[in-house]
Amino acid sequence: MNTATIKFEAFESLKNEDCQQRILKAKKTLGNEIIILGHHYQNEEVYRHADLAGDSLKLAKYVENLDAKYIVYLGVHFMAEVANILSRPGQITVLPDLSAGCSMADMANLAKVERSYRELNKVLNFDNSITPITYINSAADLKAFCGEHEGIVCTSTNAAKILNWAFSQKEKVLFFPDQNLGRWTGHSMGIPLDLMPVWDPDLPLGGLTEEQIINAKVLLWKGHCAVHQMFRLEHIETFRKQHPDGFVISHPESPFEVCLNSDFVGSTDFILNTIKNAEHGTKWLVGTELNLVNRLANEMKPENKLVQFMSHVVCECSTMARIDPQHLAWTLENIINGNPVNIIKVPNKEAQLAKLTLDKMLEVS
Ligand code: 13P
Ligand code: SF4
């Protein structure tokens, strides 16, 4: 066995068709030793190699039952961290390009969350009335923070169940990093918008008055997804004029007024299942990432369903797109070579605390 790492330069200028052949060959050689997980936002050229596909909750659940030695994750960094945390000892998680991050996850970091939590507790006289909830789109150390402070993780699928659980424990929630998911979920549960103020971690007291903090039910971290932020109410209005019998479906990371004016709001799996199960000939405007919408539009053509992307501009998740056939072929061949690259390994203590919150989430949802 050759132990030298194969450098990425050897793959950089490989044509996509050549990569496809090499990926198929590598998968055949590795057999049951690897399993490839793929998020719905991945580009078709790598998505087609996924053994299991899903939204972030489904993929996290799959990990618990995998036997393969190598878990190759076609997704972004926080997803691969979750896979590593939930995998068995000895299993190795690989992310084909380490620069595939999530810009929303980067909008919260441990130092800011710790400071915010301290400031809030000071205003609340340290009365232990606030539960930290982190969206799964966050770094492992924030999940560990929640594990240490009686908090929990949520995904776009289970956010309402998780908020309900949190309110059965304590009065208030600090929700990070996505204000849109937090606001939409709180609103769907009947919480008035003025009891869900935005907490700006870069301002003293989050830019709020003490009174606003004392009255708040959910403090929404000032974070958002740059991709979903592009969707606008005007897109929905134009579609409804053109197709009065059509339906609008959006991901809850979309702006509040987009969710409010959609017929359905839910996770990537929910969006796929709703449209796949809809009647033939129905028309859909979809507010989520472009790769998912394009794939679905093609799949639905035989059923004569119109699946239209919500924005006029290209809203691809540019970090997800970094996982390309070149990187996938490169990582697989290094595994064959006995020298896996791009291993995602969360430090033990952090992983244990993060696992606490992930297990709690899986139990509650
Ligand atoms: P899902 O959990 O719905 O797959 O969403 C993940 C994500 O990053 C959406 O932008
Ligand atoms: Fe992150 Fe947005 Fe990309 Fe989802 S679509 S992975 S939230 S940047």
127-154 per-position pLDDT tens digit: 999 999 999 999 999 999 999 999 999 9
* Alpha-carbon gap, residue 69 to 88, rounded angstroms: 9
pLDDT tens-digit series, residues 214-272: 999 999 999 999 999 999 999 999 999 999 999 999 999 999 999 999 999 999 999 99
Which residues make Cβ contacts (< 8 Å) with residue 227, sequence separation at least 6? 253, 289, 315, 316, 317
Residue whose CA is closest, atom 5 of ligand 2?
Answer: 317
Could you give the 3-state DSSP secondary structure of residue 250?
strand
Classify the phi-psi angles of 100: left when phi > 0, otherwise alpha if psi is within -120 to 50, otherwise beta. Answer: beta
The domain made up of 105-225 is a member of CATH 3.30.420? no
* Alpha-carbon gap, residue 247 to 75, rounded angstroms: 28
Question: What's this model's pTM, rounded to 2 decimal places?
Answer: 0.96
Query: How confident is the model at residue 313, as a pLDDT?
Result: 82
Ligand 2 lined by 320 (C-beta under 6 Å)? yes
Quick one: which ligand is closest to 315's CA?
2
Ligand 2 lined by 141 (C-beta under 6 Å)? no
Q: What is the DSSP letter of 251?
A: -
Closest to 63 (Cα-Cα) out of 321, 347, 351: 351
Element spanning 285, H or E:
strand 283-287
Which residues make Cβ contacts (< 8 Å) with residue 128, sequence separation at least 6? 170
Ligand 1 lined by 365 (C-beta under 6 Å)? no
Ligand 2 lined by 76 (C-beta under 6 Å)? yes
Atom of ligand 2 nearest to the CA of 103: 8
Could you give the maximum distance between any two Cα atoms of the chain, in Å? 66
CA dist 293 to 27, 301, 339, Å? 27, 12, 36
Ligand 1 lined by 56 (C-beta under 6 Å)? yes
Distance 281 CA to ligand 1 centre (A): 27
Q: Where are the domains of the chain?
A: 9-100+320-347, 105-225, 228-309
Which residues make Cβ contacts (< 8 Å) with residue 298, sequence separation at least 6? none
Contact 261, 233 (CB under 8 A): yes
* Alpha-carbon gap, residue 307 to 286, rounded angstroms: 7
- 228-309 has which fold? Rossmann fold (3.40.50)
* Alpha-carbon gap, residue 182 to 254, rounded angstroms: 11
**Which of the residues in the chain have pLDDT under 70?**
1-2
Query: How confident is the model at residue 2, as a pLDDT?
Result: 57
Please give the CATH number for the structural domain made up of 9-100+320-347.
3.40.50.10800
Tally the residues of the chain: 365
| Amino acid of residue 222 | K
Which residues make Cβ contacts (< 8 Å) with residue 131, sequence separation at least 6? 150, 151, 152, 166, 169, 170, 172, 173, 174
Residue whose CA is closest, atom 7 of ligand 2?
Answer: 225
Beta bridge partners of 108: none
Q: What is the DSSP letter of 135?
A: E
Ligand 1 lined by 156 (C-beta under 6 Å)? yes
Distance 40 CA to ligand 1 centre (A): 8
Q: Angle CA(38)–CA(152)–CA(198) in degrees, nearest 5?
A: 95
Check if 9-100+320-347 and 228-309 are the same fold.
yes
Contact 50, 74 (CB under 8 A): yes
